[in-house]
Amino acid sequence: MLNCVYAGMRVATKAQMSGIAVQRNCNWYRNGRGERNYKVTVVGAGGGIGQPLSLLLKQNALIDDLTLHDLSPTKGVATDLSHICTRTHVNFFEGVKQEGLIDSLKDANVVVVAAGQPRKMGMTRDDLVTANATIAMAVSCAMSISCPEAMLAFVTNPINMLVPIAAEFLKARGVYDPKRLFGVTTLDVVRAKTFIAEFMSINPSLVDIPVIGGHSGNTILPVFSHCSPKFTGVEDDVNRLTKRIQDAGNEVIAAKAGAGSATLSMAFASAYFVNALLRGLNNEPNVIESAYVSSDVTDLPFFATPVLLGPYGIKENMGLPELNTAEQAALENMLPELGQSIQAAIRLAQFVLKESNVGRAQGEATASASSASAQLA
């Protein structure tokens, strides 16, 4: 409470101010269960997504240690964050050496990958695979040494391809656990809630809708038939909003005149998903979020659906909601495109593994991973 000079405003006494000071807590996310705290490492913490993501995570009371890693200098970002009045301690590592990445991941409970080349005007998310695949490879190799049981969450695009690439590298290192590997598709859900709330003139926090499939264009499928509250629009409205959700990334790029992509909304969505992972780790019941994960709900090996989270990652894949005729047709239409991306990613990963013999080096970082780390952006 501030001491206000305006007439009619009550002024707090010194004793009241003391009580307020004791109660004040700068953390936005509360650790209501009062249980253990966690280490989260953000790879790419100096970037357009990494910085606002780190700011949001600094306010999460479940995080005891927030570690930043980037190729570019991160000392300034870490120092800036360290001045924020929360109990979360901030560490940083910077530079191209694989050892720095390995050290930044040591004993992490959650690793969030936000490094990489951003999407530009005219690019699809899949166009980024050449630039960003090495990130998945380097982080997977380093993680196998430093924190093989951590939750690994990819924010970097193309999520449809980087998650399968990471899976292949983790398999080669003998530490793959499909329950602990995630592609963060939360932004698709966030956008769906926002656009539906705008259409229905309600609070977005009241909207719940599953978004399934992948994280690129037509592979993003919001399931309007399971929207809560019931969607009030007609078929044309469903089609228009579906298209807007699928193309929302391009909407942001165009609004920024090609000078940037969806960094702030992606940071918000990523922080939201990390908080869900931490709540699951903390054994909070009924934590359900959509994510792109290893899956058998379709014929594809990876697919985004709602998953129940727990202390060891995914407790249960909630599967596909019952689809209406139009949604079933959209699902069948997008499966070949998503499948092609997944298979291309697996072929790329297996080729690199064969050429570099990454899987043979179990005790130390390989030359291939060091080379990959040098290309992190």
Residue 266 marked ligand-binding:
yes
Task: Check: CB of residue 241 under 8 Å from CB of residue 196.
Answer: yes
Backbone phi, psi, residue 161, to 5° = -110, -35
Residue 50 marked ligand-binding:
yes
Query: b/e string for 206-216 if b means 16 or more Cβ within 10 A?
Result: ebebbbbbbbb
Residue 244 marked ligand-binding:
no
Residue 211 sits at the vertex; the CA angle it makes with 205 and 214, to the nearest 5 degrees, is 140
Residue 24 marked ligand-binding:
no
Residue 45 marked ligand-binding:
yes
**Active site residue: 69, 83, 215, 226, which one?**
215
Residue-by-residue DSSP string for 35-84: ---EEEEEETTTSTTHHHHHHHHHTBTTEEEEEEEESS--HHHHHHHHTS
Residue 119 marked ligand-binding:
yes
Please state, in angstroms and as integers, the Cα–Cα distance from residue 358 to each residue in 92, 123, 349, 353, following that order. Answer: 27, 31, 11, 5
Give dist(CA 191, CA 196) in Å, integer: 8
Residue 46 marked ligand-binding:
yes
Residue 87 marked ligand-binding:
no
Cβ neighbors of 28 (< 8 A, separation 6 or more) are: 56, 59, 60
Residue 69: active-site member: no
Please report which residue ranges of the chain form alpha helices under DSSP H.
14-23, 50-58, 75-82, 98-105, 129-146, 159-172, 186-200, 235-246, 248-255, 264-281, 325-356, 367-373
Question: Look-up: residue for tokens 């959209």?
Answer: 330
Give dist(CA 321, CA 357) in Å, integer: 41
Residue 96 marked ligand-binding:
no
Residue 317 marked ligand-binding:
no
Residue 157 marked ligand-binding:
yes
Task: Check: CB of residue 96 under 8 Å from CB of residue 71.
Answer: yes
Task: Check: CB of residue 160 under 8 Å from CB of residue 214.
Answer: yes
Task: Check: CB of residue 273 under 8 Å from CB of residue 292.
Answer: no
Residue 125 marked ligand-binding:
yes
Six-digit token pair at 76?
Answer: 């300034």
Q: Which residues are annotated as a binding site?
A: 44-50, 70, 119, 125, 132, 155-157, 191, 266
Residues catalogued as catalytic: 215
Binding site, annotated residues for substrate = 119, 125, 157, 191
Residues contributing to the annotated binding site for NAD(+): 44-50, 70, 132, 155-157, 266
